[in-house]
Amino acid sequence: MTSPPTQRTNPLHLLAAFASGGILTLAIFVNGEAGRFGGAMFSSWLAHGTGTVVAILFLAVVWRGQRAAAAEATGKIGKAPLWAYAGGLCGAVTVMLTSTSVNSPLALAGTLALGLAGQVVLSLAADFWGLLGLPKRKLDLRDAGAVILIAAGSLLIILFGLGAA
Amino acid sequence: MIIPILAAFAAGLLVILSRQVNGRLSMSTTPLISSFWNHFVGFAFLTVVGLVIGGLIPANIAEMPWWIYTGGAIGVVFVAAGSWLITRIGAVNSTLLVIAGQMVFGVIFDLLRGAPVTIWAAALGVVLILAGMWLTQRKR
């Protein structure tokens, strides 16, 4: 990246991220129902398979623009390293790990809470060191405050909010 | 008990690792192309694992409601959005806001479908999350 990482975040981007969390809620619900029928592995396999088909359909519709954009991006940044294609492996292994812990005394709440901790830890490290080819970002007290408030609120919902008291 | 604890924590690490890796691929291609590779590679891997372990396709597959098949489509949009976002707002902001959205919409979704919700905890949790979101969007 030639441009320095911008420190001011666009509120629309933040709103989009918030909305994508809502999309995730839907996906988790649908995939959870698929898991009730056929188990976690089947659910993940189905989601990745149908996802592949849908991605191909999307790409077919907008292929001309996508090809041009990809060529431009490769020209600017260079080809992606081979490991950049391994994101799907992470997702597949994630399902195996969570189906282990959901069926332990941790149950769903414990799995979500610990997963949240893992997410926060690695994203802090990723921004701090600029891991895996993405831009480094300065972290300050405001980030710490946001982490604490959002993690506390989420834990409250996961551990006490879902399910009747 | 240590194994499930490590598994749950590692799952959280992998969620971020995958977003970071997909984000890197999207920088050299596009978020949609990156999302395709994410799903294709995951599908190929799970197919192999399923063939080795066996019993991948459940006997009752015909009885499943049609909307079971929409999870993948939603996932494609989510993964593409994640790659697009992480290169713009960074890992911490992506993580926090996706979790915030997941929690707030999760509470609303559970209320709408009549699932049991403990109101005081859910409401207080949403307030804390909104306060945290307000912090992320303030100008530096």
Question: Do A97 and B10 contact (CB within 8 A), yes or no?
Answer: yes
**Which sequence spans correspond to the domains of chain A?**
104-165
**Chain A neighbors of B100, CB-CB under 8 A:** 18, 21, 150, 153-154
ipTM of this predicted structure? 0.86
Nearest to B95 by CA among A139, A107, A52: A139
Average pLDDT, chain A: 85
Model confidence over A87-109: pLDDT tens digits?
999 988 888 888 788 777 887 77
pLDDT score of A2: 44
Nearest to B10 by CA among A29, A103, A96: A96
Q: Which of B2, B53, B67, B88 to mutate against chain A (most A CBs within 10 Å)?
A: B88
Model confidence over B55-92: pLDDT tens digits?
788 888 888 888 888 988 999 999 999 999 998 888 88
**Chain A neighbors of B138, CB-CB under 8 A:** 142
Please report the beta strands in chain A, taking only residues with DSSP state E, as ranges in sequence order: none
Q: Which domain holds residue B88?
A: 2-137
Amino acid (1-letter code) at residue A127: D
Count how many domains chain B has.
Answer: 1
Task: Inspect the interface and report whether the beta carbons of A14 and B58 lie closer than 8 Å.
Answer: no
